[in-house]
Structure 1
Amino acid sequence: MEAGDKRQVRATITDVAARSGTSIKTVSRVFNDEPFVRPETRRRVLEAAAALDYHPNMAARSLVRGRSFLIGLFYENPSPNYVVDLQTGALDRLHDERYRLLLFPCENARAVSGRLLQLARTSGLEGIVLAPPLGDDPQTVRDLVEARMPFVRIAPTTALDASPTVGIDDGAAAREMTDHLLSLGHRRIAFVQGDPDHPSNSQRLDGFRGAMQAAGATVDERLIEQGRYTFESGLAAGRRIFADRQRPTAVFAANDDMAAGVVVAAKEAGLDVPGHVSVAGFDDSLISRVTWPQLTTIHQPTYDMAHAATDALLALIEKRPLTPAIRLQHQLLVRGSTTRTASL
């Protein structure tokens, strides 16, 4: 190194051994979580490593143990807000763990059907978290079960005993949102569907229909619009809805990205939200809090679902006890985009 070069030299296992007053073998045993290391010795090694900012070489540890300590998160979702919450939940669960996360964005479930197991094996994965709708692809589930690959699914609707699962009751959540709009006096309510390949789409639509039927309110089929869980599809659906002379007094979109698109379409049509039309979404993603007015929405604990799914996967890999089916709670969040209908 030339004189004046102040670049910091990376600490080595030898440095940690010297600072902690132990041997290189002892330091290695501590970082490999081997038994029969005295607590006081372990403490000294870890303190020395922290002081030196030493981090063991994960690749080298994997070679020694014959394991990769890699898990994969496979997802296919057009909403960037949903994906960020998924990734953050999984990554936070792995904080201070020996495992590392690989991300596998998929174009759609059909494209990866029959290939997912091969992707996992060539990547050296020890386990998999499947986000919807991948967990409902029968070929993928069958391949993983037959190969005995540890996997956990988020929000599946089929073959529920094939793996541990984590999710919410999408139908109940959609019913609660619809009941909220009905309680405000709305009866002519439009619904913007999500991606038809996602099981959550049909569950949320069924919840909407069920609440309307229970209240004796008529569902105008012309106001059931198709979206794709994207802002652009919500904008297009909103433009079609507000082009109708008999416009609705409220619109319930199956996710926040589409609801934000509906808000923009309403403003394009000269409509005030919520003065002329109430708009509601689903997910409680970031866009619901930056849209003006802020969106009334259903809080779907996406971060918590990914965190819990990753925790369950680690338990599955390490053969620890786990809860096979975890049901998390949703929450109705009433914000500025909904109000009582002007007809009251």
Structure 2
Amino acid sequence: MAIDKTRSNGTATLYDVAERANVSGMTVSRVINGSAHVSEKTREKVMQAVEELGYQVNVAARVARVGTLRVGLLYSNPSAAFLSAFLVGAMGQCNRSGAQLFLEHCDDMKSQRKAIERLISQGVDGMLVPPPLCDSRSALKHLKEIGMPAVAVATAKPSPQVSAVRIDDYDGARTMTRYLIEQGHSDIGFIKGDPEHTPAQLRYQAFMDTMHEAGLNVPAERISQGLFTYRSGLLAARELLSQATRPTAIFASNDDMAAAAISVAHGLHLHVPDDIAIAGFDDTPVASTVWPELTTIHQPIGDMGSASVELLVELIKGRRSGEAPAIQHRLMPYTLEVRESTVGGGLAPAFTVQVGPQVS
């Protein structure tokens, strides 16, 4: 097992202890938390390594009560709205499950390992991995190597080795594209999301497939790259709306970028939706606070947060009882929410497209 020896202050890390004792980081965590599921020989090896390296054990982890469930959340999400909605659901389910929630932020591969180490030092029993880290092969591989139960959230291509909670992003984007075509739009611009994020890839592919199936051409200039952030949406929308001939509609890969597109349209004195219809994806709070309110695909982010904690707690309890982890992929339902950004004359009723929930 490769061990990250990087230290922020020159002191020994949990991974240094694991390397010295020739065990996993999870085993070190169990020892310092007083778990009974460790052999005496292994416990002695770990404690000897702790003493030799002068490792400072986290006080909170040492005083953890037997049976306490500790859920870690490893996050790095450019959309604060998505993270906020996810946290509400996750915290609610933690309360119902009698679990504590610990958060750690990371930005890159190096900080991923440090964030994981900090969560382990706090005695977490499993980790939630929301986007975009849900698609980080290095993060998921590392969690598997150290034996940490994990649930990936909102990945469009879940690993067969990791439990996941998601919606059908491809089908959702097809539904939105078909809706715009049915509204009479044949010239539709598209704002792509972060290319490293699998839902962004599938949403774009679904848009292109649906347009081509309808016999509609999509010129290269109708596609603009975004990164799921509001600022990137501003730049992408300006690119689309500054063309000599504008599209009649824009479908953005998430609500932050769609809200930015509405702002750009207002700045150009364009009326939404008469001059330009705009649609998003996710149905985060911004969708109902912008003017006009945003037509979008409702991803049940709060429910996904709740379901991911519920699934992780099942994995943790199974592990504590000695059961082999049962990998589950939960598919949640989505809804097409039709609002004023694509339909003039007042709020149009939403309709629901069910694609779950399912367990596979």
Q: TM-score, normalised to structure 2's length?
A: 0.73
Task: Give the structure 2 partner of residue 312 of structure 1.
Answer: 311
1:14-42, Cα deviation, whole Å (9 max, x unpaired): xxxxxxxxxxxxxxxxxxxxxxxxxxxxx
Larger C-alpha radius of gyration, 1 or 2? 1
Mapped contact 1:282–1:300 kept (Cα < 8 A): yes
> C-alpha distance in 2, partners of 1:299/1:280?
12
Task: Give the structure 2 partner of residue 78 of structure 1.
Answer: 78
**What do you get for the CA RMSD once the two structures are aligned?**
2.2
Mapped contact 1:62–1:68 kept (Cα < 8 A): no
Task: Give the structure 1 partner of residue 329 of structure 2.
Answer: 325
> C-alpha distance in 1, partners of 2:164/2:173?
21
Distance 1:249 1:142, change over 3 A: same
Task: Give the structure 1 partner of residue 299 of structure 2.
Answer: 300
Q: What is the total number of aligned residue pairs between the two structures?
A: 281
> C-alpha distance in 1, partners of 2:267/2:61?
58
Task: Give the structure 2 partner of residue 3 of structure 1.
Answer: none
State the AA in 1 paired with 2:330.
I
> C-alpha distance in 1, partners of 2:118/2:184?
51
Moved more, 82-91 or 158-167: 158-167
Q: Please report how far the alpha carbon of residue 157 of structure 1 lies from its aligned counterpart in structure 2 after TM superposition.
A: 4.5
Q: Please report how far the alpha carbon of residue 90 of structure 1 lies from its aligned counterpart in structure 2 after TM superposition.
A: 0.6
Mapped contact 1:74–1:106 kept (Cα < 8 A): yes
1:227-281, Cα deviation, whole Å (9 max, x unpaired): 1111121122111211101100000000111101000111111110001010000
Task: Give the structure 1 partner of residue 226 of structure 2.
Answer: 227
Task: Give the structure 2 partner of residue 284 of structure 1.
Answer: 283
Q: Please report how far the alpha carbon of residue 298 of structure 1 lies from its aligned counterpart in structure 2 after TM superposition.
A: 0.2
Task: Give the structure 2 partner of residue 101 of structure 1.
Answer: 101
Distance 1:301 1:145, change over 3 A: same
Task: Give the structure 1 partner of residue 236 of structure 2.
Answer: 237
* Residue segments in structure 2 that go unaligned for 5+ positions in a row: 1-58, 345-360
Mapped contact 2:156–2:167 kept (Cα < 8 A): no
Map residues 11-26 of structure 1 onto 2, 5 A cutoff: none
> C-alpha distance in 2, partners of 1:140/1:291?
35
> C-alpha distance in 1, partners of 2:218/2:342?
19
Q: TM-score, normalised to structure 1's length?
A: 0.76
1:25-80, Cα deviation, whole Å (9 max, x unpaired): xxxxxxxxxxxxxxxxxxxxxxxxxxxxxxxxxx9997374566321111221111
> C-alpha distance in 1, partners of 2:286/2:110?
29
Mapped contact 2:162–2:327 kept (Cα < 8 A): no
> C-alpha distance in 2, partners of 1:192/1:300?
18
> C-alpha distance in 2, partners of 1:297/1:113?
32
> C-alpha distance in 2, partners of 1:125/1:173?
34
Q: Please report how far the alpha carbon of residue 322 of structure 1 lies from its aligned counterpart in structure 2 after TM superposition.
A: 6.5
Q: Please report how far the alpha carbon of residue 155 of structure 1 lies from its aligned counterpart in structure 2 after TM superposition.
A: 2.5
* Residue segments in structure 1 that go unaligned for 5+ positions in a row: 1-58
Moved more, 295-304 or 120-129: 120-129
Q: Please report how far the alpha carbon of residue 147 of structure 1 lies from its aligned counterpart in structure 2 after TM superposition.
A: 1.6
Identity across matched positions, percent: 35
3-state secondary structure, aligned to 2:288:
helix
State the AA in 1 paired with 2:334.
H
3-state secondary structure, aligned to 1:291:
coil
Distance 1:265 1:100, change over 3 A: same
State the AA in 2 paired with 1:248.
P
Map residues 1-344 of structure 1 onto 2, 5 A cutoff: 63=63, 65=65, 69-108=69-108, 110-158=109-157, 160-319=159-318, 324-339=328-343
Task: Give the structure 2 partner of residue 8 of structure 1.
Answer: none
